[in-house]
Structure 1
Amino acid sequence: MLLPLVAVALGLVGLLWSADRFVGAAAATAYRAGMSIMLVGMTIVSIGTSAPEIVVSVMASLDGTPDLATGNALGSNIANIALVLGVTALVVPIPVRFSIVRRELPLLLGATGLAGYALADGQLNSVDAALLLALLVFSIWWLFRADEGQQAVAGEIPGMALGKALVWLVVTLAVMIASSRGLVWGATELARSFGVSELVIGLTVVAIGTSLPELAACVASALKRHHDLAIGNVIGSNLFNMLAVLPVPGLLAPGATDPDAAGRDFPVMLGLTLALAAILLWQRRGRVGRIVGALLAASYAFYLFWLGTSLTA
Structure 2
Amino acid sequence: MLINLLMLFAGLALLVWSADRFVYGAAAVARNFGLPSMIIGLTIVSMGSSAPEMMVSATAALDGKVDTAIGNVIGSNIANITLILGATALLRSLAVNSLTLKREMPLMMAASLLAGYLLHDLELSFLDGILLLVAFVGVLTYLSVSAYRNRDTDPLAHANDDDIPDNLPTWQAFAWLIVGMALLPLASNWMVDGAVGIAKWFGMSDLVIGLTIIAIGTSLPELAACVAGVLKGESDLAIGNVVGSNLFNILAVLAIPALIAPGTIDANAAGRDLYIMLGTSLAPLAILWMKKNQQLGRREGIALLAVFIAYQSLLFVQAS
TM-score (norm 1): 0.83
* Alignment CA distance shift 1:119-1:305 (3 Å): same
Deviation at 1:236, TM superposition (A): 0.8
> What is the distance in 1 between the residues matched to 2:91 and 2:231?
8
8 Å Cα contact 1:180-1:212 kept in structure 2: no
> What is the distance in 2 between the residues matched to 1:14 and 1:311?
29
> What is the distance in 1 between the residues matched to 2:25 and 2:299?
31
Q: Could you tell me which residue of structure 2 aligns to residue 140 of structure 1?
A: 140
Q: Could you tell me which residue of structure 2 aligns to residue 232 of structure 1?
A: 240
8 Å Cα contact 2:229-2:238 kept in structure 1: yes
Which 5+ residue runs of structure 1 have no aligned equivalent?
A: none
Which 5+ residue runs of structure 2 have no aligned equivalent?
A: none
Tell whether 2:277 aligns with 1:269. Answer: yes
* Alignment CA distance shift 1:60-1:224 (3 Å): same
8 Å Cα contact 2:18-2:181 kept in structure 1: no
Q: Which amino acid is 1:298 matched to? A: A
Q: Could you tell me which residue of structure 2 aligns to residue 48 of structure 1?
A: 48
* Alignment CA distance shift 1:200-1:83 (3 Å): same
Deviation at 1:62, TM superposition (A): 1.4
Deviation at 1:190, TM superposition (A): 1.5
Deviation at 1:103, TM superposition (A): 1.6
> What is the distance in 2 between the residues matched to 1:134 and 1:10?
35
8 Å Cα contact 2:10-2:190 kept in structure 1: yes
> What is the distance in 2 between the residues matched to 1:176 and 1:234?
25
* Alignment CA distance shift 1:21-1:226 (3 Å): farther
Tell whether 2:225 aligns with 1:217. Answer: yes
Deviation at 1:220, TM superposition (A): 1.7
Deviation at 1:89, TM superposition (A): 1.2
8 Å Cα contact 2:77-2:277 kept in structure 1: yes
Q: Could you tell me which residue of structure 1 aligns to residue 250 of structure 2?
A: 242
> What is the distance in 2 between the residues matched to 1:129 and 1:16?
26
Q: Which amino acid is 1:80 matched to? A: N
Deviation at 1:244, TM superposition (A): 0.8
Deviation at 1:169, TM superposition (A): 8.8
Secondary structure of 1:207's aligned partner: helix
* Alignment CA distance shift 1:282-1:24 (3 Å): farther
Match of 1:297 among 281, 287, 305: 305
Q: Could you tell me which residue of structure 2 aligns to residue 82 of structure 1?
A: 82
Q: Which amino acid is 2:272 matched to? A: R
In the TM superposition, 1:112-261 aligns within 5 A as 112-147=112-147, 148-149=150-151, 161=166, 163=168, 167=173, 182-261=190-269
Deviation at 1:191, TM superposition (A): 1.5
Deviation at 1:76, TM superposition (A): 0.8
Deviation at 1:54, TM superposition (A): 1.2
* Alignment CA distance shift 1:98-1:46 (3 Å): closer
Q: Which amino acid is 1:296 matched to? A: L
Deviation track 1:259-279 (CA, whole Å, cap 9, x = no partner) reads 111111000000111112112
8 Å Cα contact 1:96-1:283 kept in structure 2: no
Q: Could you tell me which residue of structure 2 aligns to residue 111 of structure 1?
A: 111
Aligned positions, number? 309
* Alignment CA distance shift 1:252-1:120 (3 Å): same
Deviation at 1:102, TM superposition (A): 3.4
> What is the distance in 1 between the residues matched to 2:102 and 2:26?
23
> What is the distance in 1 between the residues matched to 2:169 and 2:240?
24
Deviation at 1:45, TM superposition (A): 3.3
Q: Which amino acid is 2:249 matched to? A: N
* Alignment CA distance shift 1:44-1:240 (3 Å): same
TM-score (norm 2): 0.81
Deviation track 1:69-119 (CA, whole Å, cap 9, x = no partner) reads 111111111111111111111123222115145321222122111101101
8 Å Cα contact 1:15-1:175 kept in structure 2: no
> What is the distance in 2 between the residues matched to 1:180 and 1:27?
22
Q: Which amino acid is 1:210 matched to? A: T
* Alignment CA distance shift 1:265-1:43 (3 Å): same
Q: Could you tell me which residue of structure 2 aligns to residue 66 of structure 1?
A: 66
Deviation track 1:33-81 (CA, whole Å, cap 9, x = no partner) reads 7645xx7665333321111111111111111111111111111111111
> What is the distance in 1 between the residues matched to 2:269 and 2:142?
29
> What is the distance in 2 between the residues matched to 1:180 and 1:61?
12
The share of aligned pairs that are identical, in percent, is 46
Match of 1:278 among 276, 286, 291: 286
Secondary structure of 1:163's aligned partner: coil
